[in-house]
Amino acid sequence: MTILEHLERWHTTGAISGAQYEAIATLVRKDRFSLFVELNTILYLGVLAFVAGVGWTIETHFASLGDALILSALTLIFGFSLHYCFSRGRRYSNGRVEASGFAFDYVLYLGCLVFAIELGYVETQFHLLQSGWNNYLLLSACVFFALAYRFDNRFVLSLALSTLAGWFSLRLSNFPEVGGPSLRASAIVYGSLVAIAGTALYRAGIKKHFLEAYLQVAANVLFVALLSALFDRGAHPLYLLGLLGLAAVAIALGVRFTRFAFVVYGVVYGYIGISARVMREIDSFTAALAYVAISSTVMIVTLVVIARRFGREE
């Protein structure tokens, strides 16, 4: 009996599902299958490796290469990336726009990273803004946001949001009345503003499919900020209430709009927050071990049940 005949029998008896049968049979028959994810991963890693190589070359040989050559090369790469994207990119639309080619998104991402390196080099060598150097981050974020919306690129949007987070944290730390150098206060304000901005743009009908990227960033920043307070014995109890409230919202909206990632955020972060508080009150090692074993099992089972529900709905 051949492998395909075995698969047919297993499929008929219900030992394997239809999706499993198709996946295995495709490999057995040596049919063509998509390498889209693998090729995208290779391109993404290739861009990062190239940029890392450029950064290493500049750091190691900047004295012998000279400022003029380095800036000319970086400007040339950035200019080529922009020319490629503007000459081949589709017309702007508030809705979803497909990329013009397989490598299009990665050329744009490369240009953005090189632009960031160039600004960093300019400030390091010439100190044009001096104490206001953090405004380079704001300039970079503005450029990245503009390019992300112009070319409908979520890679660049994520880069813009992370760059803005860096600027926001540095800027807010200059105001003691807001929380001084507290990274937690900066993160809470930043995460809230990102969620509000993403929702406002969604309601305005501008790139509605970008909303999930905004909420992903905002949720993780807010959860980490609130969770960090629970490991501080002097933290206010409202941090725990805030964390549980945010977890409940994430789970409810994740279930309603079938976004499993947000359900996971709510369950996992909520579990860690409760556990941090409970473990602080447990003095016995045996009791602590029992709590971890039982509670983690319950959490995993809950996630599996919810995941199956999402799988049926999708």
What would the pLDDT profile of 215-271 be if each residue is shown by its tens digit?
999 999 999 999 988 877 666 788 889 999 999 999 999 988 888 889 999 999 999
Query: Which one, of 268, 267, 274, lies nearest residue 240 by Cα?
Result: 274
Q: State residue 199's pLDDT score.
A: 95
Q: State residue 61's pLDDT score.
A: 80
Mean pLDDT taken over the chain: 83
Would you kindly state where each structural domain of the chain is located, as residue ranges? 1-33, 35-172, 177-314
The SS3 assignment for 16 reads coil
Of residues 79 and 302, more confidence is placed in 79
Average of per-residue pLDDT across 109-126: 90
| Six-digit token string for 145 | 């946001």
What would the pLDDT profile of 58-117 be if each residue is shown by its tens digit?
888 877 888 889 999 999 999 999 999 999 988 999 998 887 777 888 899 999 999 999
Q: How far apart are CA 76 and CA 38, in angstroms?
A: 29
Q: Which residues of 9-27 are buried (b: 16+ CB within 10 A; e: fewer)?
A: eebeeeebeeeebeebeee
